[in-house]
Chain A
Amino acid sequence: MIPDATDRRLLAATASGLPLTPAPFAEIAGWLGLSEDEVIARLRGLQEAGIIRRIAAAPNHYALGMTANGMSVWDVADEAVDRLGERVGALPFVSHCYRRPRALPGWPYNLFAMIHGSSRDEVQQKRTEIAALLGDACRGHDILYSTRILKKTGMRLAEGG
């Protein structure tokens, strides 16, 4: 599915958040000159297409005490990585989980999982849990802690058709 110009207006209008009112979709409809039914139908279509993952609260990890995180990387047997990747991704403390190509010889890791916790000790503890889950299918792993944010740009959304 390719979002049309109206979908893009809808995404742009909701990018900073939904109005916190009893009938938020009716209010958005009013902004855009659409009907409430059309706004809901378009949001459903975008969600079914995977463009919107969900409409929900984005918690502030730092404010809620999840101040530590680390990018854990794993060398998992090719035949097991998809099955185990699903299980790692489903863990409540993993916020991103991807299979990526190895860069041999220096980089044997093909599974990346971002781990969050209240302290570095807790992140290490959770890393041990993932290692146990992967078992023998994992031949090596590492964790990379960020030491500095050098650039962070919000995702820009083209508003054109």
Chain B
Amino acid sequence: MRRTPLPPEALDATDRAALNALQDPLPLVPRPFAALADRLGLTEAALIARLAHLREIGAITRFGPFLDAAAMGGAFCLCAMEVPGPRFDEVVTLVNAHPQVAHNYERAHRLNLWFVLACEDPKDISRLAAQITAETGLPVLCFPKEREFFIGFRVQA
């Protein structure tokens, strides 16, 4: 995935309008791009070509379903640890060795290690957290999601 900004001229005004509109839910109808194209004053074919181009230059990573992982079944939990600096690499190796560790970030804070556990069963979360504590000798704080708020996030292109 591209990690650096595209030059501003990579997207023209129509690309930007299309990208903003394509972040809204695609209608589930046989010709989903046609209605959207009308709104943008484009033909269906032109909109699809723009979308393919946006994907090609890396302005979007994909065009498809956004899944709610938890709704699929399975359990997820954000966890954090306070790892002493000299032990950091060793502890990261122990934590990352678990395939259930999906993401792991170093963050600038007293709690400097933040990772997500993804398990089949909610019971596995606390068991695995306890296992990581046993392996590292360090407490694992669990921050399960109690409520998810509706997200209005849109990248303005």
Interface residues of A (CB under 8 A from B): 2-3, 11, 14-18, 20-26, 36, 40, 43-44, 46-47, 49-67, 71, 82, 85-86, 88-101, 103, 106-107, 112, 116, 142, 144-153, 155, 157
A136 CB to closest chain B CB, in angstroms? 20
How far, in whole Å, are A96 and B145 apart by their CA atoms in the complex?
11
- Interface residue count on the B side (C-beta < 8 Å): 77
Other-chain contact of B104, A147, A150, A155 (Cβ < 8 Å): A150
Other 4 A-B pairs with CB < 8 A, given A59-B155, A65-B6: A52-B68, A58-B63, A144-B111, A152-B102
How far, in whole Å, are A151 and B156 apart by their CA atoms in the complex?
28
User: Are the CB atoms of A47 and B107 closer together than 8 Å?
Assistant: no
The proximity string for B residues 136-157 relative to A, scoring 1 for CB distances below 8 Å and 0 otherwise, is: 0000010111111111111111
B13 contacts partner chain A, Cβ-Cβ < 8 Å: no
User: Are the CB atoms of A22 and B44 closer together than 8 Å?
Assistant: yes
A16 CB to closest chain B CB, in angstroms? 6
User: Are the CB atoms of B155 and A14 closer together than 8 Å?
Assistant: no
Chain B neighbourhood of A56, CB < 8 A: 22-26, 63, 66
Q: A52-B66, A57-B54 are in contact. Are A86 and B150 (CB under 8 A)?
A: yes
